[in-house]
Amino acid sequence: MQNAIEASSLTKYYNDLPAVDHISFNVEKEEIFGFLGPNGAGKTTTIRMLVGLTTPSEGTAIVNGYDIREKIVEVKRHVGVVPETSNLYDELTVWQNLLFMSRLYHVPKQERKTRIRSLLKTFELWDRRQFKFGRLSKGLKRRVTVAAALVHDSDIVFLDEPTTGLDVISARSLRGLLNELKKTGITVFLTTHYIEEADQLCDRIAIIVNGKIVKIATPESMKSVVNTQVVEASFDSPIKSAIAMGLEALGEVEVEGCMVRLFTKDVSSAIEALTILSKEHRLKIEYVNMTRPSLEDAFVKLTGVASDVMKAEKEGGGRQS
C-alpha cells in the first residue's frame, strides 16, 4: 500500500536553530497518525512544511504522491488543514464560509451545495448554518473549521492541536467526529500534546522532542517500553515521602497526597510491602489497583520530559483560545 505521507530528512531551521531536525517517517493511508510532543517540539512546523505554509530548509516529503518541493499546489488540492486557531471568516456565515472554501478548492458547482449540506448535518451544524462564524462558541468554530477542511473531499486531513482550548464536552465531541472520519477512509495527521488524546485516537504515534523523533510505534507497543507494572495504593491519610522511601527497593515510587504509585516488576512483593507499610504507620489502605503503564509513563521514559511539564502545558493549553 502506498503511504499517504513519506517524509525524508525533513528539516527546518529558524535563525540557524533547527526547529525540525532531519525527521523521517511514513504515514499509512487511512490511519490516524499522531505527533505527540511538548510545546516547541516542532509539531506545528512539521505540519506547515507538509501543507506548503513554509519551505523545508532540507529534506522533503511526498504527500499523497506529490513532492512538497515540486508540486505543492497538487498537494494542497488533496489535503485539508485544521490549524490550531480556527481561522475562518468571522463576518461570513457558516454556510458562506464553507461555500467560499468549496469554491477556492474548485469543487464542481453542482456538487457544492450537496456536499456542504451533508457536512453540516454530519457535524450537527445545520441549524447554525446562517450564524456568523464570529458568533459561534470555540467548540462550534472548531467543528466548522474541520468541516471546511473536508469540503473538497480531502484524502488527508492535518489537525494541529484540534482540542486545545476546548471544554471537555466539545473536545469529546470532536474526538468522536475524528473517529468517525477514520471510517470514511481519510488519513488523519494529528498533532497534540494531550497524551490521553493520542492514546485514544491514534493508530500510531511519533514522539517528537526538540525537533527530533524519539520513537514511532502504536500506543500499545509504546507502552511496552515501560516493562514494569504499576501498583497504586490509596491510604486514608496523606503519605509523607519519607515513609514511602522504604518502597524504593522495589522500584520507582511516586507519592501524591494519599496515593502511592509503585513501578515494579515484582507485584506480590510490592503488595506485601504496602501492607507492612500500612501496619507500621497505622494507615488504612482504601484501595489497591494494578495497572499497565500508561502512554504518559512511556512518554516520560522515552523523552525524559517530566509528566508534570506536560500537565502544566495541558492546563496552559486549556486556557488558550
User: Grid coordinates 504515534 are at which residue?
Assistant: 205
State which residue, 66 or 235, has the beta carbon closest to another protein: 66
Candidate ranges 34-42, 81-89, 198-206, 277-285; the one touching another protein (CB under 8 A):
81-89
Interface map 165-194 toward another protein (x if CB under 8 A):
------------------------------
Instruction: Verify binding: residue 136, another protein, rule CB under 8 A.
Output: no
Instruction: Verify binding: residue 104, another protein, rule CB under 8 A.
Output: yes
Instruction: Verify binding: residue 55, another protein, rule CB under 8 A.
Output: yes
The dihedral over CA atoms of 166, 168, 171, 176, expressed in degrees to the nearest 10, equals -170
Question: Closest separation between CB of residue 73 and another protein, Å?
Answer: 5
DSSP letter (8 states) at residue 133: G
Report the alpha-carbon distance of residue 283 to residue 309 in Å, rounded: 31
Instruction: Verify binding: residue 77, another protein, rule CB under 8 A.
Output: yes
Q: What's 152-191 look like in SS3? A: CCCCEEEEECCCCCCCHHHHHHHHHHHHHHHHCCCEEEEE
Chain-centroid distance of CA 88 in Å reads 22
Tell me the HSE value of 48 on the side-chain side, using a 13 A CA sphere. 14
Instruction: Verify binding: residue 74, another protein, rule CB under 8 A.
Output: yes
DSSP letter (8 states) at residue 57: S
Candidate ranges 48-56, 120-128, 163-171, 306-314; the one touching another protein (CB under 8 A):
48-56
CB 250 within 8 A of CB 262: yes
Question: Closest separation between CB of residue 78 and another protein, Å?
Answer: 9
- Candidates 28, 30, 67, 92; binder of another protein (CB under 8 A) is 92
Instruction: Verify binding: residue 95, another protein, rule CB under 8 A.
Output: no
State which residue, 76 or 261, has the beta carbon closest to another protein: 76
Q: Is 136 left (phi over 0), alpha (psi -120 to 50) or beta?
A: beta
E strand or H helix at 67: strand 66-67
E strand or H helix at 209: strand 204-209
State which residue, 26 or 54, has the beta carbon closest to another protein: 54
Instruction: Verify binding: residue 76, another protein, rule CB under 8 A.
Output: yes
Enumerate binding residues for another protein (CB under 8 A).
51-55, 73-74, 76-77, 81, 83, 85, 87-92, 96, 100-101, 103-106
